[in-house]
Amino acid sequence: MKRFVVVALLCVISALQVAVAENKLSLSSQEKPVYESIKTLRSVSDKDRPKTTSKLAMQIRDLPNSENKVTLATALASLSTEGDFGLETLQAVATTLAEALQQAPLPPEKGQPAYPYVALAQLERYEHVQVKLEDPQYTAAMAKLIADDERRQRSDFALNDLDGKSWKLSELKGKVVLLNFWATWCPPCNRELPDMQALYEKYKDQGLVILAVSDEDLGKVKPFIAKRKLTYPVLLDPGRKVNDMFDIEGIPKSFVYDREGKIVAEAIDMRTRGQFDQMLALAGLK
């Protein structure tokens, strides 16, 4: 079966490349050019990427109905949220994925909604696009996202930073908290770092606390942070207890808490400085 499996912590586009390279996914002459363009989308400038992404969405819509079409639409969706490419672009991507799933529905995976339904639900819930898809798996995927967010709201943790100081989330009420999950090896995460440092310097006197959580060890993270001269707290979660608590399977992920400890904004991917500013404004920082 040509099923496209998304593995935790493995980017969708990377999994697609592996499937093609190992001949687990056979692409037609119509599908190959779309795949090649998706594979190189990250190299397109931010200025041109919205137009290129929208064009790819239209090209995918013209493909014959198949599971490959769903796979390509899902891969494009995974790349469309890396930054700020506009609601119009995201809407085109979401509409393409919804239509592909309508035309070629997928069976559940181990009793859970297949990943493309989850990706589409994330676009609707967190990127605020409109989705028209009547499918039990899509309904279940959205319900799970809502339940996950409710669980995250109730979650608390304590982790040590690079100097051994303990930080407990529930003790930061009265502060605005930006909780960011990241890793040294993650290119989109690295693109966020300078913007988060700038935001920290801008808002720390107004009560902003940034907690950047990595599941890597001290020996890898500490020199990485020192080289980039980042001054906000970086917390270590080598056993992934907190990552698992927040159901983090892809990074970067960010959550903004207001001064009452309520999650007021959530990002499923890389954010620009402007997008972070908008998220922090929902917690009262301007």
- Long-range contacts of range 225-231, CB-CB < 8 Å, 24 or more positions apart? 225/162, 228/193, 228/194, 228/197, 229/197, 230/193, 230/196, 230/197, 231/197, 231/200, 231/201
Residue 129 in domain? yes
- Do both 24 and 143 map to the same domain? yes
Position 259 pLDDT exceeds 90: yes
Position 3 pLDDT exceeds 60: no
Q: For 197-216, what is the mean pLDDT? A: 97
Residue 109 in domain? yes
pLDDT at 116: 95
Could you give phi then psi for residue 215, rounded to 5 degrees? -95, 10
Position 11 pLDDT exceeds 70: no
Max Cα distance, the chain (Å): 58
Q: For 209-216, what is the mean pLDDT? A: 98
Residue 256 in domain? yes
User: C-alpha angle with apex 126: 277 to 76, nearest 5 degrees?
Assistant: 105
Q: And the tokens for 17?
A: 């490349």
Position 269 pLDDT exceeds 60: yes
Radius of gyration of the chain (CA): 19
- Do both 64 and 143 map to the same domain? yes
Position 222 pLDDT exceeds 50: yes
Alpha-carbon span 35 to 75, nearest angstrom = 9
- Do both 248 and 165 map to the same domain? yes
- Do both 275 and 177 map to the same domain? yes
Q: What percent of the chain has pLDDT over 70?
A: 92
Among 88, 122, 150, residue at a domain's last position: 150
pLDDT in tens, 50-109: 999 999 999 999 999 999 999 999 999 999 999 999 999 999 999 999 999 999 999 999
Residue 246 in domain? yes
- Do both 229 and 130 map to the same domain? no
Residue 7 in domain? no
CATH code at position 262:
3.40.30.10
pLDDT at 25: 73
pLDDT in tens, 97-119: 999 999 999 999 989 999 999 99
Identify the H or E element spanning 221: helix 218-228
132: nearest Cα among 209, 28, 123: 123
Residue type present at position 282: L
- Do both 115 and 191 map to the same domain? no
Q: And the tokens for 15?
A: 């999994």
Cβ–Cβ under 8 Å, residues 178 and 254: yes
Q: What is the mean pLDDT of the chain?
A: 92
- Do both 144 and 175 map to the same domain? no
Residue 67 in domain? yes
Among 106, 124, 150, residue at a domain's last position: 150
- Do both 142 and 17 map to the same domain? yes
DSSP notation for 30-87? THHHHHHHHHTGGGS-TTTHHHHHHHHHHHHHTSPSSHHHHHHHHHHHHHHTSS---H
Position 9 pLDDT exceeds 90: no
Determine how β-strand 176-182 pairs with β-strand 234-236: unpaired
Q: Strands of 234-236's sheet, edge to edge? A: 234-236, 208-214, 176-182, 253-257, 263-267
- Do both 261 and 245 map to the same domain? yes
Residue-range definition of the domain harbouring residue 74: 12-150
pLDDT at 20: 63
Position 196 pLDDT exceeds 90: yes
Alpha-carbon span 48 to 110, nearest angstrom = 39
Among 91, 122, 150, residue at a domain's last position: 150
Q: How many domains does the chain have?
A: 2
Cβ–Cβ under 8 Å, residues 69 and 100: yes
pTM of the model: 0.88
Q: What percent of the chain has pLDDT over 90?
A: 89
pLDDT in tens, 12-41: 666 666 566 555 678 999 999 999 999 999
Q: How many residues does the chain have?
A: 286
Residue 29 in domain? yes
- Do both 101 and 181 map to the same domain? no
For 28, 93, 184, 246, the CA distances from 216, given in Å and listed in that order, are 40, 33, 8, 17
Residue 5 in domain? no
- Do both 142 and 167 map to the same domain? no
pLDDT at 55: 98
- Do both 42 and 94 map to the same domain? yes
